[in-house]
A and B are shown apart, each in its own frame.
Chain A
Amino acid sequence: MADKKEKAYACVSTILLIGSFCAAALLILGLGMLFFHATPQDYFTSLACPSLSDIFSNLLRGEPTAIINLGILLMMLTPFLRVVVAVFSFLWEKDFKYAAVAFGVMVILLFTIVPSFI
């Protein structure tokens, strides 16, 4: 029991760390690309409201702002991933009451996440 819990805690920590460091790496890459060959465009209007498909098509063209956007999105999604892991780890511990609570939090988050991708 204690061992399982140990593993679940370690897993949550690892997800948080990996997610946030990957996001930071993407930001360094994107901002670095912009910094070293900035084109004279209006940064305040370019891609201010990206949809997910915009981000991915621009990503394929190697657009620095798309890389930055991806980093930001990854950072914004790490807490959600943490909640998803919590749902499964509560299920694993057979703690169905708190699995339901975590599932509730997940559904609430989905309500704000999904509309921003449509």
Chain B
Amino acid sequence: MSDFFFMAIGGLFAGLLGSVLGLGGGVLIIPMLTLVFGVPMREAIGASLVCVIATSSGAASLYVKRHLCNIRLGMTLELATTLGAIAGGVVAGIMKPQILSILFSVLLIYTAGTMLRKKSDGSIGDEMKNTSNLNYGEGSYKITHLPLGMGASFFAGNVSGLLGVGGGVIKVPVMYLLMRVPLKTAVATSNFMIGVTASAGAFVYFSRGEVHPLVAGSTMLGVFLGANLGSRLFPKIKAEYLKKAFVFILLYLSLEMLFRGLGSHLLF
């Protein structure tokens, strides 16, 4: 039982850290569950998807209220992300857990890379916080490359369903760089979509019995409290140094997941 207590505590920290750094919980939760608690990879993914829903429900309700998000664009892209998530979830059921672990380590490296890059064009978190124009959601910008964006969204959904993350690290650049959506709107719309995408994937795991009530329940409770606390306690924190330090942690976790996939251990 004490394991589940510590999972909740770990979830709390993942939620706090995630909301401060602008990361979804999944990137932290899966390494925590598999490496520290020895939860099987697929059960960890199932739990993580539930946690992603919990984080995004809290966050999205804030953003929707502020009208930052473009619900029409979000809905359209969700057609692709949900299908992608289901496909990813089904494929994950066939794949060896070791392969999933290796793929996850690649995703961690990519996430670390995006965190390094964010610094140069102003962090996404700061963009969100300095918002003065609140009627931004469906404003005067013109969306380009919709078909390509749909394809990329399918891929983002696929990654979400396969590896148990929200996929914001893929959706935001797709909307911002490819579809020319303003950054604030891209972030808010991605947050709005993440919950729906993750739930499409989560039900695939649920129907396979891979959403373990105690693992998912205790982690989700921790994450939910952590994310809510984080967004209320530190809405204006300057996280630049924390982010830089965090890149190393992500790289370390990536190595650890890679070794786990290859059947050996680094430190744990």
Contact = CB atoms under 8 A, between A and B. Distances in A.
**Do A and B assemble together?**
yes
Interface in B190-227: 195-196, 198-200, 202-204, 206-209, 211-214, 216-218, 220-221, 224-225
B57 A68 contact: no
A21 to B, nearest CB: 9
B221 A28 contact: yes
Contact of B199 (A28, A30, A79, A115): A79
Given A16-B60, A24-B221, A65-B213, A34 B203 contact: no
B196 A9 contact: no
Given A77-B199, A109-B82, A71 B212 contact: no
B211 to A, nearest CB: 6
Nearest to A12: B64
Interface in B51-90: 53-54, 56-58, 60-62, 64-65, 67, 71-72, 75-76, 78-79, 82-83, 86, 89
B65 A31 contact: no
Given A72-B216, A86-B75, A109-B200, A31 B53 contact: no
Contacts of B78: 83, 105
Interface string A97-114: 010011011001101110
B245 interface: no
B interface SS class: helix
B75 A35 contact: no
B209 A112 contact: no
Contacts, number: 150
B50 A49 contact: no
27 contacts: A12-B71, A13-B64, A17-B57, A23-B54, A24-B54, A27-B224, A30-B217, A31-B4, A43-B214, A44-B212, A47-B213, A69-B217, A71-B217, A72-B211, A76-B203, A76-B206, A79-B57, A79-B199, A80-B196, A80-B199, A98-B72, A104-B79, A108-B83, A108-B86, A108-B200, A112-B89, A116-B207
Given A13-B61, A49-B208, A109-B200, 9 more contacts: A13-B65, A24-B225, A31-B8, A69-B213, A75-B57, A76-B199, A101-B75, A105-B75, A112-B207
